[in-house]
Amino acid sequence: MVTVLDLVANKPRPRHPEKAHRPDQEVLRKPDWIRVKAPVSKGYAETREIVKSHKLVTVCEEAGCPNIGECWEKKHATFMIMGEICTRACAFCNVATGIPTALDADEPNRVAQAVKTMGLSHVVITSVDRDDLEDGGAQHFADVILAIRAAAPTTTIEILTPDFLRKDGARALEIVVAAKPDVFNHNLETVPSNYLTVRPGARYFHSIRLLQRVKELDPSIFTKSGIMVGLGEERHEVLQLMDDLRSADVDFMTIGQYLQPSKKHHPVKKFVTPEEFQSYAIVGKSKGFLLMASSPLTRSSHHAGDDFARLREAREEQLKKTAR
């Protein structure tokens, strides 16, 4: 459980100023099937040291991800670029809200050097929302991709982007796609009926269209999207959302349990059982996704490298079938 106030230089700085006035929400006790590994291993400490020494930010820490012990032990970290302050204020998210700092021109190089030092075969890069920037941070994403390609040419690159809402004039999406990430991920986060309360700064149809446009611009890029469940959605809404993603030709869908970062965040409405997650995975496959990852601790970047290998295999298999 995180706190809503950070203590910086002995001055209380609100991490979530927009949430501070909200009434406390009851925090439900986690069920037995949500058990995480404590972050104490040697590998975890080494990853932490690499992240700190390159002055990088990770979503693993900022979002309070429950998988950090497991992932960092294996040197899997998801880098969060463009600072640690987000211009949006989603009700589920633990990343701080406020006015971000200026872009750091050296960041692409530092991310690339960290990727090289860690010897990653696959890396996931995400960012805060940067509605304050004319292109939403598209060029910075592209610069990071190009810097990694130069420093670690065999590393495959997955990006998890914001929605670039109202950045069409800057051709933001085109700039990112032209840099050729291997996987383009943009999360829907939840079903459309929850958008006003859970993801108020975003628009469901825009996010679907963004994913569809990536495939139109470059069909060789794998597309991916994810949601959290336990936010009050109905099963039939999840199935409809799957159809919407398939209409946009999305290859890979992830579904994980929402966990409440603090008592000021959106409450957990339900702990979805492992059996229900399994059922979503089966339905998703039958709807035509190349790959489904659906379990209580599934997160967008969890096991992303192994999943990328599976995605490639699934596409090859599909191509063989259509050639017959």
Tokens of 311: 């995605």
Which residue, chain included where needed, has tokens 């459309």?
192
Q: What secondary structure letter does DSSP report for 182?
A: S
**Whose Cβ is closer to ligand SF4: residue 77's or residue 242's?**
77
Query: What CA–CA distances, in Å, run from 262 to 45, 69, 259?
Result: 26, 20, 9
CA distance 2 to 93: 11
Q: Does 194 bind ligand SF4 (CB under 6 A)?
A: no
Residue nearer to ligand SF4 on the CB measure, 77 or 144: 77
**Distance in angstroms (rounded) separating the CA atoms of residues 191 and 198:** 10
Asked whether the beta carbons of 78 and 84 are under 8 A apart, the reply is: no
**Mask: binding to ligand SF4, 10-49, rule CB under 6 A, as x and -?**
----------------------------------------
The residue from 15, 76, 199, 265 that contacts ligand SF4 (CB under 6 A) is 76
Question: CB of residue 22 vs ligand SF4: minimum separation in angstroms?
Answer: 25
Nearest to 119 by CA among 60, 62, 77: 77
On whether the CB atoms of residues 93 and 63 are closer than 8 A, the answer is yes
Q: Least distance (Å) from ligand SF4 to the CB of residue 56?
A: 12
Residue numbers 290-309 binding ligand SF4 by CB under 6 A:
299, 301-302
Instruction: Indicate the residue among 88 and 122 with the shorter CB distance to ligand SF4.
Output: 122
266 in contact with ligand SF4 (CB under 6 A): no
Q: Which is nearer to ligand SF4, 50 or 217 (CB)?
A: 50
78 touches ligand SF4 by CB under 6 A: yes
122 lies in the binding site for ligand SF4 (CB under 6 A): no
Is the Cβ–Cβ distance between 62 and 33 less than 8 Å? no
Identify the three-state secondary structure at position 13.
strand
Is 128 a binding residue for ligand SF4 by CB under 6 A? The answer is no
What number of chain residues touch ligand SF4 (CB under 6 A)?
A: 12
* 179 in Cβ contact with 217 (< 8 Å): no
Give least dist CB 29 to ligand SF4, A.
Answer: 22
- Distance in Å, CB of 14 to ligand SF4, minimum: 24
Residue 72: phi and psi, rounded to 5, are -70, -30
55 to 74: interface string for ligand SF4, x by CB under 6 A? ----xx----x-xx--x---
Smaller CB separation from ligand SF4, 110 or 302 = 302
Q: What is the DSSP string of 88-102?
A: ---TT--SEESPPPP
Question: Which residue, 239 or 297, is less far from ligand SF4 as judged by CB?
Answer: 297
Q: CA 243 from chain center: how many Å? A: 21
Tell me how far, at minimum, the Cβ of 196 lies from ligand SF4, in Å.
26
Cβ distance to ligand SF4 smaller for residue 78 or 113: 78
Question: Which H or E run includes 159?
Answer: strand 156-160
Nearer to ligand SF4, 74 or 166 (CB): 74
Q: How many angstroms separate the CA atoms of 71 and 58, rounded?
A: 12
- Among residues 31, 20, 10, 16, the alpha carbon closest in space to that of 62 is found at 16
Give me the residues that bind ligand SF4 (CB under 6 A), please. Answer: 59-60, 65, 67-68, 71, 76-78, 299, 301-302
